[in-house]
Structures are given as C-alpha cells and as structure tokens.
Amino acid sequence: MNVVGIDPAPRKGLQVFSGDGRDSSVEVGGARSYVEELHKSQSDVLVCWDAPLTGPSSDVLKSCEAQGADFTKRPLEKFFSTGEFKAPKGISVLGYGQCPHWTISRSLIGLPQVGPFDQVEGLPFTLLTAGQPPIRGRYIVEVHPALALWLWCKKGRTKDADWEYKKNPSTRSSLWNELTRVVEQKKNYVDFQKWQAPNAEVPNDDMMDARVAWLLGRLWLANQRDVVLLGNADIGAILVPRVERLEDAFQEFLSRSSRRQK
C-alpha cells in the first residue's frame, strides 16, 4: 500500500511527500485536481493528512445538541493541552475549530463532518479512526507532525528546550538531526536513503511536516509497535508515535473526564 503525507494550508496549498525521495508542492488552485488524481491513480493508498479530520461526537452530529466545547475542541486535543503529555510552547495543539486548515480539508476531502447535512457517501477516501492498519483500499488518517516530532524527540532534549521549529531554523535543524537518528534505527521499515532530504539538507518546516506525516503512516503499516492510532471517531483519532506511558495516560484522562461528566 502506498503512503502519502500531506500538509494542507488554505493559502499555500498542499505540501506532499510520498516516500520516493522527492518533495512536491501543489498550489491551492490545483489542489482539488491533485486529490482527484490521487484517488483515481491509487487503488491502495493511505493518505496521512496534517489537519483535523473529525469534529463533534456522533451524538452531536445526529442531534446538533452540542454542549461546551463540542464545536471547538475535541477530548484528544484537551489531552495534549494539559497534564503529563501537555505539548510545550512551539508545538501547537489547537482545538479543531480554531485550525484554519480544516476549511481546505472540508473542501478537498469532505472532512471533518460537523453536522447531519454533511455528505457521508462518495468521499474520495475512507476515514480511519480505529482498528488495524488497512491492507487494500483508499484511506485517510489524521496526523499531527509537530506533535509526533515532540513525542519522538523529547526524551533526548532538556525540559527547557526550544520547540519552535517553524520559526527558528536552528531548532528545525536540531530536531531534524534527532529525527534522522530515530529513523535510521528503523531501516527495516523505512527506505532511509529516500526519506532523507537531498544531500542530507534540512527541509523547510512544510516539507518536514509532510515527511513526518508519511513516516507515521509507513511505520504504522509496517510495524505497529512504533505507531498507534490514538482515540476514536467520537473523541478524535490521530496517528502518533507509541511512547512510554502515552496510551495509559490517555485512558486515565478519559476515565477522569467521564467521572466529571456524571
């Protein structure tokens, strides 16, 4: 199954990496044609999309009887905004309603769905929110490359380390080098030579995000010990590196949230 990492932006368009060692940029005006061609040309593909792909819970989708932050922030984002796995400054974990790239996602792939009138049939890709990696078919899964970078690299960095790689080239270079060491250990599952940037250069932040998006999908298909699909359709679902304590902490968070709602 082919894997394609895509970083969408409502003004810049799509930054794409598909594991062939080449980065490609698609302007906004050509983004719909690109997605349509990807759907037509790939019978078996996993698209790793760097933007929110789920919205409110299934109950809210049906009834529109929303409460609190149902239309702005999912439990998944709340988890990474507080407690043991609170993302540091520079790793943005906004509520899905605050993310401007959900608009281009809605336009190009019909996701996220936010109400009973949203189209649920005829979408180009089937959304994955639970279960095992697919074997055949056209699928799409949500990723958050910045969050993945933090989870993969935080163990080797100090607590006060700078994470604003989108603003600071030196931080981006440092994180890229650390991630390269992580990937080099997974040569059995990743074509390391093609994954590296040409001449081992540090890619810009958009290219970096697209490569990390692809990496998450490739490792998930090849070896589920490295990556996990965290969450579900009702609370948000995202591919993340499988690191120590993450899944247990997430379940504890959900249990506490459930008790508060009773």
The per-residue pLDDT for range 204-221, each reduced to its tens digit, is 999 999 999 999 999 999
Check residue 67 and give its pLDDT. 78
199 pLDDT higher than 90: no
The per-residue pLDDT for range 42-76, each reduced to its tens digit, is 999 999 999 999 999 888 887 778 777 888 899 99
Estimate to the nearest angstrom the gap between the alpha carbon of 77 and the chain centroid. 12
pLDDT band of residue 260 (cuts 50, 70, 90) is low
pLDDT band of residue 262 (cuts 50, 70, 90) is very low
**Mean pLDDT, rounded, for 16-35:** 94
Check residue 156 and give its pLDDT. 82
Determine contact, residues 15/214, Cβ cutoff 8 Å.
Answer: no
- Start-to-end CA span in the chain (Å): 43
**What are the start-end ranges of the E strands in 112-168?**
126-127, 138-142
**Mean pLDDT, rounded, for 140-168:** 95
* Residue 249: count of CB within 10 angstroms of its CB: 14
**Mean pLDDT, rounded, for 115-129:** 90
The per-residue pLDDT for range 161-198, each reduced to its tens digit, is 999 999 999 999 999 999 999 999 998 888 888 888 66
23 pLDDT higher than 50: yes
Please state the pTM of the whole predicted model: 0.95
Question: DSSP label at 225?
Answer: T
Alpha carbons 208 and 7: distance in angstroms, whole number: 9
157 pLDDT higher than 80: yes
Alpha carbons 120 and 110: distance in angstroms, whole number: 8
Q: Which residues contact 189 (CB under 8 A, 6 or more apart)?
A: 218, 219, 222, 223, 226
Determine contact, residues 50/108, Cβ cutoff 8 Å.
Answer: no
Dihedral (Cα; 136, 139, 142, 145), 10-degree rounding: 60
User: Domains of the chain: which residue ranges?
Assistant: 2-261
| pLDDT, mean over the chain | 92
